[in-house]
Structure 1
Amino acid sequence: MENETATAPQLAALADTDINWDRLDKARFHIIGAILFTVQSALIHPTAVVKTRMQVAGSGLSQMNGLSVFRHILKSDGTPGIYRGFGTSAVGSLPGRVLALTSLELSKDMMLKYTQGLNMPEATRVGVANGFAGMVSNLVSCVYFVPLDVVCQRLMVQGIPGSKPCTGPFDVIRKVLKAEGVRGMYRGFGLTAVTQSPAQALWLGAYGAAQHMIWRNLGYGDNVDKKPSHMEMVAVQATAGLQETLDLFAGACSSVITTPIDTIKTRLQVIDDYGVGRPSVLKTTKALLREDGWKGFYRGFGPRFLNMSFYGTTMIVTYEIIKRLSVKQA
Structure 2
Amino acid sequence: MQQKRNIQIIEWEDLDKKKFYSFGFFMTMTIRATVYPATLIRTRLQVQKGKTLYNGTFDAFLKILRSDGVPGLYRGFMVNTFTLISGQAYITTYELVRKYVSNYSEDNTIKSLVAGGSASLVAQTITVPIDVVSQQLMMQGQGQHLSRFRVSLKTEAGGSTNMAFGQTRSIITQIFVSDRLMGFYRGYVASLLTYIPNSAVWWPFYHFYAEQLSKMAPSDCPHLLLQAMAGPLAAATASTVTNPMDVVRARLQVEGRTSIVETFKQLLAEEGFWGMTKGLSARIISSIPTAMVMVLGYETLKRVSLRPELVDSRHW
CA-CA distance at 1:288 after TM superposition:
4.5
Verify: 1:107 aligned to 2:97, yes or no. Answer: yes
Paired residue for 1:73?
64
C-alpha deviations, 1:19-57, integer Å up to 9, x for none?
A: 222232223212211211221121211111112122223
Structure 2 CA distance, aligned partners of 1:184 and 1:151? 10
Verify: 1:300 aligned to 2:279, yes or no. Answer: yes
Verify: 1:186 aligned to 2:185, yes or no. Answer: yes
C-alpha deviations, 1:237-283, integer Å up to 9, x for none?
A: 323454447436635xx42x5333222211110124xxxxx632245
C-alpha deviations, 1:139-158, integer Å up to 9, x for none?
A: 11111111111111111001
Q: Percent identity?
A: 28
Give, as a single letter, the amino acid of the residue that structure 1 aligns with 2:202. Answer: W
Paired residue for 1:132?
114
Paired residue for 1:224?
none
Trace 1:10-25 onto structure 2 (pairs within 5 A).
17-25=8-16
Among 142, 154, 159, the residue aligned to 2:136 = 154
Verify: 1:95 aligned to 2:77, yes or no. Answer: no
Q: In 2, are the aligned partners of 1:56 and 1:62 still within 8 Å (CA)?
A: no
Trace 1:200-219 onto structure 2 (pairs within 5 A).
200-208=199-207
Among 207, 231, 236, the residue aligned to 2:223 = 236
SS at 1:181 equivalent? helix
C-alpha deviations, 1:152-205, integer Å up to 9, x for none?
A: 111100142142114433433332233223322122222222232233223313
User: Can you give the 5+ residue segments of structure 1 that lack an aligned partner in the other structure?
Assistant: 116-121, 217-230, 273-277
Structure 2 CA distance, aligned partners of 1:215 and 1:59? 43
Among 151, 162, 165, the residue aligned to 2:150 = 165
Structure 2 CA distance, aligned partners of 1:206 and 1:72? 35
Give, as a single letter, the amino acid of the residue that structure 2 aligns with 1:318. Answer: G
Structure 1 CA distance, aligned partners of 2:235 and 2:214? 24
Structure 2 CA distance, aligned partners of 1:213 and 1:264? 34
C-alpha deviations, 1:39-83, integer Å up to 9, x for none?
A: 112121111111212222347654422211111111111100011
SS at 2:34 equivalent? helix
Give, as a single letter, the amino acid of the residue that structure 2 aligns with 1:300. Answer: G
Q: Which deviates the most, 177-186 or 292-301?
A: 292-301
Structure 1 CA distance, aligned partners of 2:112 and 2:288? 20
Q: Which deviates the most, 203-212 or 261-270?
A: 203-212
Output the TM-score relative to the length of structure 2: 0.78
Structure 1 CA distance, aligned partners of 2:212 and 2:245? 35
Structure 1 CA distance, aligned partners of 2:52 and 2:33? 23
Higher gyration radius (CA): 1
Paired residue for 1:322?
301
Q: CA RMSD in A?
A: 3.4
Structure 1 CA distance, aligned partners of 2:242 and 2:62? 26
Among 254, 258, 263, the residue aligned to 1:270 = 254
User: Can you give the 5+ residue segments of structure 2 that lack an aligned partner in the other structure?
Assistant: 152-165, 310-316
Output the TM-score relative to the length of structure 1: 0.75
Structure 2 CA distance, aligned partners of 1:301 and 1:292? 15
